[in-house]
């Protein structure tokens, strides 16, 4: 008989203890310790585990290890390749998270079809939909191929048998919270099951050299459900973001062992599936009003891609003793800081004004180069003076009111020129080391006062 033990596992971080705690010692969360049965079982000598244990290697000096460039599997979608760092790496483990209904399954099914065009075998395992439901989606997307295998299964042992039988180049598991290991007594989706199943998929990916993609559910706070250990085990973590009221989606990397985490991919959701957006600046500016106070266009860098986005500010008087501040798309603390600079260094009386700032289109910006655009949009709404519809603003604002230099100014200016803008307001210190292109005027400023004079007068 197998020996049965009881332990308490935190549902947030995976910390386990033989006794119950009201507050988890690992992550300090309250009421997250759940009792689970830990059943010790003798080893069965499974194929993947035995293959992994037999691959014994001796430690070598690092200078004697041969440097080999990892081959990449082109996903067939340029935006996805950009976020992954050039494509899927064989043997890698990728975790994709996002809100329900955002388009994760649609994205992966389209990627699977693109991979089959390269004569690659893809195994798509669905734990939430039947094979007929997956076939209906594939019919709508036109993702039909002899090399795309679909399996509806949640038992990890049966999934391993299917992998041994098909020997796919790419494995997709939708989703990791639905898979269970028969030897683990916890329910599917629990910390023990998620940790055990992810560990098995990691060994499968490394031993069989299979590029594996796991789909993860998202909690109410927006984080991937399960312990944080799940994100540490995988090689790449991607978040599929967007709002249901908008047609576009943003794919963002928060962890990538094979590429940069600053890149984003932008898609547009249509009836026939996701369509790549090659020029996102046009998408975010196509509904921009002209001649309206508070509207300013800023140039932000997302990885290696320049992106022009509209900022909208609304400043109105309030009768309450504490004015309201609200920011959507940028950090709230950044907005309050810039408003304090405007009041102290420029002389704008904003202490009795409500202020609302929105990044049009719902995109999130966290780059300091948009600070000057925030300052000008707030001042424009406060003075009720519209900025020129052909201006782009770039610059970081310091606490003393100075406008600090930013990186890759030449790429931002060329993107503005390509979209028909005629003037760029940027820091004076960023004018060194490059020559502005013909057809666009570049105005250098040293402080916020000069920038407001150039943009609003």
Binding-site annotation, residues = 98-105
Q: How far apart are the C-alpha atoms of 198 and 193, rounded to whole Å?
A: 8
Q: Do residues 357 and 336 make contact, with C-beta atoms less than 8 angstroms apart? A: no
Say how far apart CA 150 and CA 135 lie, in whole Å. 9
Q: Which helix (H) or strand (E) holds 265?
A: strand 264-270
Q: Which residue has the tokens 């300013």?
A: 296
Q: What is d(CA 454, CA 441) in angstroms, rounded to the nearest whole number? A: 12
Which residues are annotated as part of the binding site for ATP? Answer: 98-105
Q: Cis before residue 33, ω within 30 degrees of 0?
A: no
SS3 88: strand
Residue with tokens 């559910």: 217
Task: Judge residue 276's burial from the number of C-beta atoms within 10 Å of its C-beta, 0-12 exposed, 13-18 middle, 19 or more buried.
Answer: middle
Please give the Cα distance from 206 to 196 (Å, whole number): 16
Half-sphere exposure of 385 (CA within 13 A, CB side): 10
Distance in Å from the first CA to the final CA of the chain:
85
């Amino acid at each position: 008989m197998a020996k049965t033990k009881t332990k308490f596992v935190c549902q947030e971080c995976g910390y386990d203890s033989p006794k119950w705690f009201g507050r988890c010692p690992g992550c300090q969360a309250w009421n997250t310790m759940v009792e689970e049965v830990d059943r010790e079982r003798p080893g069965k000598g499974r194929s993947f585990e035995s293959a992994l244990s037999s691959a014994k290697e001796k430690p070598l000096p690092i200078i004697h290890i041969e440097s080999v460039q990892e081959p990449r599997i082109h996903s067939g979608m340029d935006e996805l390749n950009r976020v992954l760092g050039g494509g899927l790496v064989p043997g890698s483990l990728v975790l994709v998270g996002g809100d329900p209904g955002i388009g994760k399954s649609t994205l992966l099914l389209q990627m699977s079809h693109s991979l089959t065009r390269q004569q690659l075998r893809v195994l798509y395992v669905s734990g939430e939909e039947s094979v007929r439901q997956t076939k209906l989606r594939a019919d709508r997307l036109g993702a039909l191929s002899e090399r795309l295998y679909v399996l509806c299964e949640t038992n990890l042992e049966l999934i391993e048998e299917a992998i041994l039988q098909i020997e796919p180049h790419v494995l997709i598991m939708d989703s990791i919270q639905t898979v269970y290991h028969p030897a683990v007594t916890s329910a599917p989706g629990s910390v023990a099951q998620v940790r055990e199943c992810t560990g098995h998929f990691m060994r499968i990916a490394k031993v069989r050299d299979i590029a594996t993609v796991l789909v993860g559910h998202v909690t109410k706070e927006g984080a991937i459900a399960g312990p944080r250990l799940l994100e540490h085990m995988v090689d790449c973590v991607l978040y599929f973001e967007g709002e249901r009221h908008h047609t576009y989606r943003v794919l963002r990397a928060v962890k990538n062992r094979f590429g940069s985490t600053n890149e984003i991919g932008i898609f547009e959701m249509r009836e026939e599936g996701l369509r790549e957006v090659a020029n996102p600046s046009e998408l975010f500016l196509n509904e921009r009003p002209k001649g309206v106070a508070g509207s300013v266009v800023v140039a932000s860098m997302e990885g290696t891609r320049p992106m022009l986005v509209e900022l909208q500010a609304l400043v109105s008087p309030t009768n309450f003793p504490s004015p309201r501040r609200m920011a959507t798309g940028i950090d709230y603390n950044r907005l309050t800081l810039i408003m304090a600079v405007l009041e102290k260094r420029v002389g704008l009386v904003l202490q009795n004004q409500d202020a609302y700032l929105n990044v049009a289109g719902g995109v999130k910006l966290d780059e300091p180069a948009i600070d000057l655009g925030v300052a000008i949009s707030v001042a424009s709404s406060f003075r009720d003076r519209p900025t020129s519809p052909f201006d782009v603003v770039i610059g970081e604002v310091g606490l003393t009111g100075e406008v600090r230099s930013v990186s890759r100014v030449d790429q931002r200016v060329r993107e503005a020129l390509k979209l028909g803008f005629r003037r760029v307001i940027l820091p004076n210190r960023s004018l060194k080391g490059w020559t502005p292109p013909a057809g666009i005027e570049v105005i250098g400023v040293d402080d916020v006062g000069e920038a407001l004079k150039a943009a609003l007068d």
